[in-house]
């Protein structure tokens, strides 16, 4: 089958790999209809991780069930499904508590709980930027979608970034009527803003410096805050009579940079601590990683970073972190899409064939104007 494989820093290749196949009785194989390029793929693409050469990338997958193992119940061949990026067993203590993003069983790496498709340090699983994908514990993980092709570009956000953005607002403790600050207007930040509005936020401030992304934030009714035009903290404090927002979402990660482009991994956490009022909550879904001795890019910022914990403590703020447990939200978000109450497809900028993935990665990584969210269609 054709698949996108990692070759080295800023090098991916679309090539032939062995077909995905059933390996355990609880597996299914899904024929991929849509698979997305994510900001999380860029950590590997930019050489910031120790992901192995030859790994098939892609953790934002949906498609149609092609084959099921003999022990798969509930899901059957022909079902249209969304595949959460987390690979969960469904029965370990974290899964039973709804923390499928920290499954203790599916990642064989010592000391790491939580597995994902096509990802560094998240287990030996190939990704779905390919014609077919092997899905472990299929009856646990797969979410059924209405048959047909309707809402494809909305449903494709259910595997990761819509639940992730939603989770950011949950971790932040967002209540109806709250003002919220979202740092980052990438796909994840825009999904957090969309979620905050659906969950009843009063005002949503979205901080970034990319004009096209800020324009999308404005398009959905959020207040764009351009940090290249001045301190974003001051801009939000000015708009809230000095009080700050009730809560905030971090949707940037350790690759945060200042207006000149220099990386400062602590910058957004520092800004959030200043932007959010005393006792307010901060949801961190932007990724921070422990030191990875195998990372190819020695300049990558990892592990220990120093943000202003003193102010965070003094303001009595709360902070929640981590990879999102997609299954906790994806059924509800699917039904909001079906009911017309959520339209996460507003961020889609490009729909490419799988063979155009090399170009898609390059343009998305460079944040070329207008390249907000790239979908790949293996069937085209
Ligand atoms: P992206 O790289 O497309 O977007 C990041 C945005 O942050 C960019 O638009 C950039 O201009 C902006 N930015 C950079 N520095 C900033 C600053 N100082 N202040 C405000 N904005 C700034 O990535 P994405 O796809 O939107 O993903 C964002 C983060 O979320 C990544 O770290 C990704 O790995 C992570 N992520 C986490 C989960 C999870 O489950 N927790 C899931 C998916 C993605
Ligand atoms: Zn993703
Ligand atoms: Zn588990």
Q: Which of 321, 343, 358 is the last residue of a domain?
A: 321
Decide: residue 162, CB within 10 A, 0-12 exposed, 13-18 middle, 19+ buried: buried
Which residue's CA lies nearest to atom 29 of ligand 1? 286
Instruction: Say what the pLDDT of residue 304 is.
Output: 86
How far CA 278 is from CA of 247, 316, 379, in Å, comes to: 10, 6, 51
Instruction: Say what the pLDDT of residue 103 is.
Output: 98
**Domain range enclosing 210:** 162-321
Say whether both 40 and 120 belong to one domain.
Answer: yes
Which of helix, strand or coil describes residue 241? coil
The CATH number for 213's domain is 3.40.50.720
Say whether both 188 and 143 belong to one domain.
Answer: no
Per-residue pLDDT of the chain (380 residues; tens, 9 = 90+): 999 999 999 999 999 999 999 999 999 999 999 999 999 999 999 998 999 999 999 999 999 999 999 999 999 999 999 999 999 999 999 999 999 999 999 999 888 999 999 999 999 999 999 999 999 999 999 999 999 999 999 999 999 999 999 999 999 999 999 999 999 999 999 999 999 999 999 999 999 999 999 999 999 999 999 999 999 999 999 999 999 999 999 999 998 999 999 989 999 999 999 999 999 999 999 999 888 777 776 556 677 889 999 999 999 999 999 999 999 999 999 999 999 999 999 999 999 999 999 999 999 999 999 999 999 999 87
State the closest ligand 1 atom to the C-alpha of 284, by its place in the atom list counted from 1.
41
Cβ of 184 less than 6 Å from ligand 1: yes
Cβ of 256 less than 6 Å from ligand 1: yes
Cβ of 37 less than 6 Å from ligand 1: no
Pocket residue to mutate for ligand 1, from 286, 326, 363, most atoms within 8 A of Cβ: 286
CA angle 327, 169, 319 (to 5 degrees): 105
Say whether both 194 and 78 belong to one domain.
Answer: no
Q: Could you say which ligand is closest to the alpha carbon of residue 235?
A: 1
Say whether both 311 and 372 belong to one domain.
Answer: no
Say whether both 138 and 185 belong to one domain.
Answer: no
**How many domains, the chain?**
2
What is the rounded CA–CA span in Å between residue 329 and residue 275? 27
Alpha-carbon Rg of the chain, whole angstroms? 20
Cβ of 188 less than 6 Å from ligand 1: yes
Cβ of 14 less than 6 Å from ligand 1: no
Instruction: Say what the pLDDT of residue 339 is.
Output: 98
Pocket residue to mutate for ligand 1, from 186, 248, 362, 368, most atoms within 8 A of Cβ: 186
Torsion of CA 240, 241, 245, 251, to 10 degrees: 60
Token pair of 371 as six digits: 């390249």
Say whether both 65 and 9 belong to one domain.
Answer: yes
Say whether both 311 and 208 belong to one domain.
Answer: yes
CA angle 189, 190, 192 (to 5 degrees): 60
CA angle 30, 31, 36 (to 5 degrees): 95
Q: Could you say which ligand is closest to the alpha carbon of residue 86?
A: 1
Cβ of 225 less than 6 Å from ligand 1: no
Say whether both 88 and 107 belong to one domain.
Answer: yes
Q: Which of 280, 301, 321 is the last residue of a domain?
A: 321
Say whether both 117 and 30 belong to one domain.
Answer: yes
Burial 104-130 (b: 16+ CB within 10 A, else e): bbbbeeeeebbbbbbbbbbbebbbbbb
Say whether both 20 and 79 belong to one domain.
Answer: yes
Instruction: Say what the pLDDT of residue 189 is.
Output: 98
Q: Could you say which ligand is closest to the alpha carbon of residue 136?
A: 3
What is the rounded CA–CA span in Å between residue 38 and residue 205? 23
Cβ of 251 less than 6 Å from ligand 1: yes
pTM: 0.97
Q: Could you say which ligand is closest to the alpha carbon of residue 187?
A: 1
Cβ of 40 less than 6 Å from ligand 1: yes
How far CA 115 is from CA of 41, 88, 289, in Å, comes to: 15, 7, 15
Which residue's CA lies nearest to atom 34 of ligand 1? 40
**ipTM associated with this complex:** 0.98
The CATH number for 113's domain is 3.90.180.10
Cβ of 337 less than 6 Å from ligand 1: no
Distance of CA 155 to the CA centre of its chain: 14
Say whether both 99 and 175 belong to one domain.
Answer: no
Instruction: Say what the pLDDT of residue 379 is.
Output: 85
Say whether both 317 and 226 belong to one domain.
Answer: yes
């Amino acid at each position: 089958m054709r698949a996108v494989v990692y070759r080295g820093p800023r090098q991916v290749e679309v090539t032939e790999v062995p077909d995905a196949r059933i390996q355990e009785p609880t597996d299914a194989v899904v024929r991929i209809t849509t698979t997305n390029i994510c900001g999380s793929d860029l950590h590997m693409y930019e050489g910031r991780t120790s992901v192995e050469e030859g790994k098939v990338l892609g953790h934002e997958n949906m498609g149609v069930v092609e084959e099921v193992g003999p022990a798969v119940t509930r899901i059957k061949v022909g079902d249209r499904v969304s595949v959460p990026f987390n690979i969960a067993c469904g029965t370990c203590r974290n899964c039973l508590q709804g923390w499928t993003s920290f499954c203790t069983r599916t990642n064989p790496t010592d000391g790491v709980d939580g597995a994902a498709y096509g990802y560094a340090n998240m287990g030996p699983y190939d990704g779905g930027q390919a014609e077919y994908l092997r899905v472990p514990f299929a009856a646990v993980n797969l979410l059924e979608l209405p048959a047909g092709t309707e809402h494809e570009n909305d449903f494709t956000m259910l595997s990761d970034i819509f639940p992730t953005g939603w989770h950011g607002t949950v971790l932040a403790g967002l209540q109806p009527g709250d003002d919220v600050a979202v740092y980052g207007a990438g796909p994840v930040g825009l999904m957090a803003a969309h979620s905050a509005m659906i969950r009843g936020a009063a005002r949503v401030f979205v901080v970034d410096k990319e004009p096209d992304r800020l324009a999308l934030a404005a398009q959905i009714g959020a207040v764009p805050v351009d940090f290249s035009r001045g301190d974003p903290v001051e801009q939000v404090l000015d708009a809230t009579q000095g009080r700050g927002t009730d809560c905030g979402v971090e949707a940037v990660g350790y690759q945060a940079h200042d207006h000149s482009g220099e990386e400062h991994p602590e910058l957004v956490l520092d800004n959030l601590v200043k932007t959010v009022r005393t006792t307010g909550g901060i949801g961190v879904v932007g990724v921070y990683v422990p030191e990875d001795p195998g990372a190819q890019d020695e300049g990558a910022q990892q592990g220990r970073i120093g943000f202003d914990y003193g102010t965070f403590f003094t303001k009595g703020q709360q902070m929640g972190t981590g990879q999102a447990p997609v299954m906790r939200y994806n059924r509800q978000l699917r039904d909001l899409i079906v009911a017309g109450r959520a339209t996460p497809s507003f961020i889609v900028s490009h729909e490419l064939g799988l063979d155009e993935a090399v170009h898609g990665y390059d343009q998305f990584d460079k944040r070329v104007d207008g390249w907000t969210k790239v979908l790949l269609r293996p069937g085209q």
